[in-house]
Amino acid sequence: MIQAQDYYAAKAMLDWQIELGATEAIGETPVNRYEAPAPVRPRPVAAEAPPEVAAEPQVDAVAVARAAADAAPDLESLRAAIEAFDLCDLKRGARSTVFADGRAQARVMVIGEAPGRDEDQQGKPFVGRAGQLLDKMFAAIGMGRDAPDPGAAIYITNVLPWRPPQNRDPKPEEVAMMLPFVERHVALVNPDVLVLMGNHSCMALLGRKGITRLRGNWVQALDRPTLPMFHPAYLLRNPVAKREAWHDLLMLQDRLRKPA
Ligand code: URA
C-alpha cells in the first residue's frame, strides 16, 4: 500500500521534472542528450544500373584492308580504296594520301617507308631532300621516274601512304594494316624487281631488319627478286655509305641487263 507521504513525494518529483522540460517517460535505454546529433544522412538512392551499352564490335583492320585491297582491279581503284580506308589513325593527321609516282610499266618498283613533310605537302613520294638524292642515284645508272622506256623507268611508293606525326617510326600495327595495300600494289604493277629502301621497308616486306647486313644481297619478296638498299635519308646523314649504295645500284643494273 502506498503511503500518502510517498504519493506526495513522488508527485512533487514528477512536477519538478516536468518543470525542467521532461515530456516523455524514461525509455528503456539511456539517452545522452549532450551527444552531437547524428548527421542527417541522405537516404541511400538505389544505385541505378548503368545503361546497357552494346559492346563495340572488334574490327579486324587487317582483314578490312585485305578485303578492300583485293577488291581493287587496277591502280586507280587501289588509290581510291586507300583513300577510303579509315582505320589507320595516321590518316587523320596527314594532309595528303601519298600513293605513288613514276611509271606503272616500270621494271623496278621502289618501296620506301612513309611520306615526310615535303611528300605530305605535295602528295608525291620522295620529293624532299632524300627524294632528290634518290633521283640522282637512279639517274647515275640511267634510270628515272619519268623515263619513257619502261626498262629505264622506276615506280615509287611507300609502305605507309600517310605521314607519321613528327616523322616518327611507323608502328607495327600501322604497317600490318597497310601491308595488304602494298601487296596489292606490287601485284598490280607487277615489276620485275623490287628495291626496298631502308629498315622499315625490309621489316614490312621481309620481316627482317638490319639493313647493314641485308643491303647488297638479292632476296625474294612477294615472289620476286628484291634488293634491300640503304635509305637515301641515311645516306644524307652518312655520306661514306654512298659507296655501298653505288655498289647496290650497279648490282641492280646488272640484274636488269640479264634476261628475265
Ligand atoms: N622517305 C621515305 O621513305 N619515303 C618518302 O616518300 C620520303 C622520305
180 CA from centroid of ligand 1 (Å):
19
Q: Write out the H or E segment, with its range, that includes residue 4.
A: helix 4-20
Please say if the pLDDT value at position 181 is more than 60: yes
How many Cα atoms occupy the beta-carbon half-sphere of 179 within 13 Å? Answer: 20
Q: How confident is the model at residue 52 (pLDDT cuts 50, 70, 90)?
A: confident
For the stretch 80-109, pLDDT in tens is: 999 999 999 999 999 999 999 999 999 999
Q: What is the pTM of this model?
A: 0.79
For the stretch 213-242, pLDDT in tens is: 999 999 999 999 999 999 999 999 999 999
Task: Specify the pLDDT at position 116.
Answer: 98
Residue 185, C-alpha cell as written in the block? 600494289
More confident residue, 36 or 197: 197
Task: Specify the pLDDT at position 186.
Answer: 98
Q: How confident is the model at residue 173 (pLDDT cuts 50, 70, 90)?
A: very high
CB 126 within 8 Å of CB 56:
no
Cα separation, 138 vs 187, in Å, equals 23
Residue 175, C-alpha cell as written in the block? 604497317
Q: How confident is the model at residue 24 (pLDDT cuts 50, 70, 90)?
A: low
Q: Write out the H or E segment, with its range, that includes residue 201.
A: helix 198-206
Please list every protein residue whose CB sits less than 6 Å from any atom of ligand 1.
112-116, 119, 125-126, 128, 130-131, 158, 197, 233
Atom 7, ligand 1: which residue's CA is nearest?
126
